[in-house]
Amino acid sequence: MSNNTLKTLRIYWGYCLRHKVALFLLISSITGASILNAIFPLFFKQFFDTLASPQPKESLVGTLVGILIWLAALYFLQWCFYRVASFVNIHFQSKIMAEIANDCFAYLHKHSFSFFQNNFVGSLVKKVKWFTKAFEDITDKVFWNLLTLAINLIIIIYVLATRNYLLALGVLVWLLIFFGINAVFIKYKLKHDIKRAKIETESTGLLADTVTNSHTIQLFNGYTGEMEKFGETTERLRKIRWFTWSLSAWLEAGQGFLMIFLEVGMLFLALRLWQMGILTVGDFVLIESYLVDMFIRVWDFGKIIRHIYETLADAEEMTEILQTPHEVVDIPGALALKVSSGEIEFKKVDFYYNQTRAVLRNFSLVIKGKERIALVGPSGAGKTTAIKLLLRVFNLTAGKILIDKQDIAKVTQESLRGVISLVPQDPILFHRTLKENIRYGRPKATDEDVMEASKKARCHDFISQLDNGYETYVGERGIKLSGGERQRVAIARAILCNSPILVLDEATSSLDSESELLIQEAISELMKEKTVLVIAHRLSTIRQMDRIILIDEGKIMEEGTHQELLKRDDGKYRKLWEIQAGSFGE
C-alpha cells in the first residue's frame, strides 16, 4: 500500500470510531449472520445422512422434521441479524458520509487564494465527491464481503478438518495459492489504477474549464482545438482503462481454472475417503455446499479487493488535499480584531510570489482612521497585492500590517475580514437570487435593508424590472447580469455590510459613464466615517481622495492630494494624468 492509501484508511477508520455503538452492532450482527451461514451445511449433511439411512422411512420422518424446524429457526435468526445490520448500516454510513462531506468542505475552503488558482474547480468538486462516496464503497466491501468471507473460510476449514485433515489441508493450500496470486496481481495493477484516476481528474478538470469558458470558445472559434485537446485526454484514458480491464480479465480466467481444479480434486479425494468408509453421503453435500459458497465468495474477492484499491486510488487525491497544510492559518489563541478608528499601517512589508518574484519591498504606509486614500500606478506595481495582504489572502514575506495597532497576523481571519468591505474589480456572484447575493454582506439583514442598500447602489430600478425581481437567479458567477449590473450588486452588498474599512478595487470599472455618475453619490455616502482604500486606473474617479499614493515596482514613489501631485513638473502622477486627460480631450 502507498502512504496515501494508508492515510486514507486511517481517516475513514477515525470516522468509524466516532460511532462505536453503531460500529459494534454492525460488525456483531454481520458476524452472527455469517456464522449461521457456515453452519447450515452441517444440517444439510445430517438431513441427507438421515435420508440415506437403511432404517424404515416412518422412523426417520420425525428426525427429518426436527432438522427442518431447526433450519427454519436458524434461518429466521439469520434474517434478524441481517435486518439489524441493514438498518444500522443505513444510519452508520449516511451519518459518516455527511460528516466527511462537511469536513472536506470546511478544510477545502480554508485553503489559500493561490491553492484555488492552481486547481481546477471541476477536479476539486470531483475529489470531494469521490472521497465521500469511497467511504460507502469501502465499508460495504469490508463489512459485507471481506468480513463474511473471513468468518466463512475459518469455519469451513475447521469443519472440514473435523471430517478429515486432508480435506482442510487441500482447501487451505488452494486458498494460499489463490490469495497469493491475487496479492501480486493487485499490487501490480494498483499503480496503473492511480494513473487512471489522475487522468480521469485531468479529463474532468478540462471539461469543467471548457464549460466555464464556453462563451470564449465560441467567440474565438476554439471548438476544434478544444475538441482535439479533450479527445487526446480521453484517448489516454481509454488506453489505460483497456489495459487495467484486460489485466482483470486475465486474472478471472486464471481464477476460473483454479476453481475447476479444486472442485474436481476435492470430489476425487472425497470419493476415495468414502470408499475407505471415512465419509458419508451427507459429507458430499457438505463439501459441495462449502465449495459452491466459497467459490462465490472468493471469486468476488479479487473484484472486491481491486474495487477497494481503485476506490482508494480515487480517494487518495482528496487525501492529499486533506494532508496539505493551510498556508494562511490563525495562530493558537488568536483574538478577534477590535476596530476603533480604523487606522492601517503597512510596516516595512516585503512580499514575494513563490518566494522568488518580488512584488512589494520595504513597503511602509500609514493610513489614518477614516482617511480616504487612492492607490495608483501601472499594472503589476503591487496595488492589488497590498489589498490582498491587508485581507490576509497571503502571508507576508517580511514586515507587519497593523489595524489600530493590532497585528493582523495575530487576530482571527474571520474577525479581520468582518471589518473590511470589498468591492472587487470583477465581482463574482453566487448562482442564487439577487436578494441572497446582496444579503451576503449581512446575512441577518431584513428585506427592507436589502432594498434600501440596492437603492443607494442604484440597482433597485433594474432589479424591479426583472420578472422575478429580487428573487431572480443570476446564473453561475452572475453571468445573467451585465458587468455594470454585477458591479452595482457588489456595491449594494458592501453598503449593506457597512464595515469600518472599505476597499474599492476598480469598483466603477465595469460601468458606463451614465451608470458611474448614478452611483458616485452612493459611493460618497458609503465612504462617510470609514477608512477607504481605492484602487483606480481611471484617475478622474479619485480626485477627491484625501491622499493619492503612486506605487511602482513595489515601492511608494509619490504621495499627496490630486492638486499637490499635479504641481510636480517631472512627477509620474502628472504624466499619467496628462495622458488620460489628453485622451479625454480627444
Residues 555 and 467 both lie in one domain: no
CATH number at residue 50: 1.20.1560.10
Residues 238 and 314 both lie in one domain: yes
- Give the model's pLDDT for residue 483: 75
Q: Kindly give the residue spans of alpha helices, DSSP state H, lying in 213-358.
A: 214-219, 223-275, 281-323
52 or 233, greater pLDDT: 233
14-24 tens-digit pLDDT: 999 999 999 99
The pTM is what?
0.73
- Give the model's pLDDT for residue 553: 81
C-beta separation of 420 from 503 below 8 A: yes
Residues 444 and 414 both lie in one domain: no
Distance CA 329, CA 302 (A): 44
Distance CA 176, CA 171 (A): 9
Distance CA 541, CA 342 (A): 23
Distance CA 44, CA 282 (A): 7
- The pLDDT of 366-376, averaged and rounded, is 91
Among candidate residues 450, 478, 498, the one where a domain is terminated? 498
- The pLDDT of 332-352, averaged and rounded, is 90
197-246 tens-digit pLDDT: 788 878 887 887 888 788 788 877 888 888 888 898 889 889 888 988 88
Residues 245 and 143 both lie in one domain: yes
Nearest CA to 179 among 150, 159, 158?
150
What amino acid is encoded at 105 in this protein?
Answer: F
pLDDT at 186 over 70: yes
**CB-based contacts of 476, cutoff 8 Å, min separation 6:** 212, 431
Number of separate domains in the chain: 3
Lowest mean pLDDT among 1-5, 143-147, 384-388: 1-5
Among candidate residues 323, 350, 368, the one where a domain is terminated? 323
Calculate the alpha carbon distances from 296 to 55, 115, 161, 289, 381 in Å.
36, 47, 21, 11, 69
CATH number at residue 584: 3.40.50.300
- The pLDDT of 456-476, averaged and rounded, is 85
Residues 206 and 255 both lie in one domain: yes
Q: How far is CA 330 from the centre of its chain?
A: 22
pLDDT at 369 over 80: yes
Q: What phi and psi, each to the nearest 5 degrees, are found at residue 119? A: -135, 140
Nearest CA to 456 among 399, 522, 510?
522
Banded pLDDT at 512 (limits 50, 70, 90): low
289-306 tens-digit pLDDT: 888 888 888 877 777 877
Residue 146 lies in a domain: yes
Classify residue 123 as exposed, middle or buried by CB count within 10 Å of its CB (0-12, 13-18, 19+): buried
Residues 246 and 265 both lie in one domain: yes
pLDDT at 317 over 70: yes
- Give the model's pLDDT for residue 307: 82
pLDDT at 585 over 60: no
Residue 518 lies in a domain: no
Residue 348 lies in a domain: yes
- For β-strands 531-535 and 501-505, DSSP reports them as parallel
pLDDT at 179 over 50: yes
Distance CA 327, CA 477 (A): 26
**What domain range includes position 562?**
336-419+500-508+529-586
Give me 413's grid cell: 481571519
Residues 403 and 273 both lie in one domain: no
pLDDT at 543 over 50: yes
Residue 48 lies in a domain: yes
Residues 460 and 555 both lie in one domain: no
Neighbouring CB atoms inside 10 A of 233's CB total 18
Q: How far is CA 507 from the centre of its chain?
A: 32
C-beta separation of 302 from 251 below 8 A: yes
pLDDT at 432 over 80: yes
Using a pLDDT cut of 90, give the percent of the chain over it: 22
120-138 tens-digit pLDDT: 777 788 888 989 999 999 9
Calculate the alpha carbon distances from 568 to 176, 542, 551, 565 in Å.
89, 18, 16, 6
Banded pLDDT at 586 (limits 50, 70, 90): very low
Nearest CA to 146 among 8, 372, 308?
308
The 3-state DSSP class for residue 558 equals: strand
Residue 346 lies in a domain: yes
- The pLDDT of 60-78, averaged and rounded, is 90
Residues 408 and 442 both lie in one domain: no
Residues 210 and 313 both lie in one domain: yes
Residues 310 and 294 both lie in one domain: yes
Residue found under cell 465595469: 510
Residue found under cell 474589480: 425
Residues 251 and 363 both lie in one domain: no
**CB-based contacts of 531, cutoff 8 Å, min separation 6:** 341, 342, 343, 344, 367, 368, 369, 370, 371, 372, 500, 501, 502
**Sign of the four-CA dihedral 564, 567, 573, 576:** positive
pLDDT at 64 over 80: yes
Among candidate residues 323, 346, 381, the one where a domain is terminated? 323
Distance CA 245, CA 478 (A): 43
**Sign of the four-CA dihedral 55, 61, 66, 70:** positive
- Give the model's pLDDT for residue 542: 78
C-alpha radius of gyration, the chain, whole number? 36
Number of helices and strands in the chain (H, E)? 19, 10
- When mean pLDDT is compared over 82-96, 184-198, 359-373, 422-436, the highest value belongs to 82-96
Residue found under cell 500500500: 1
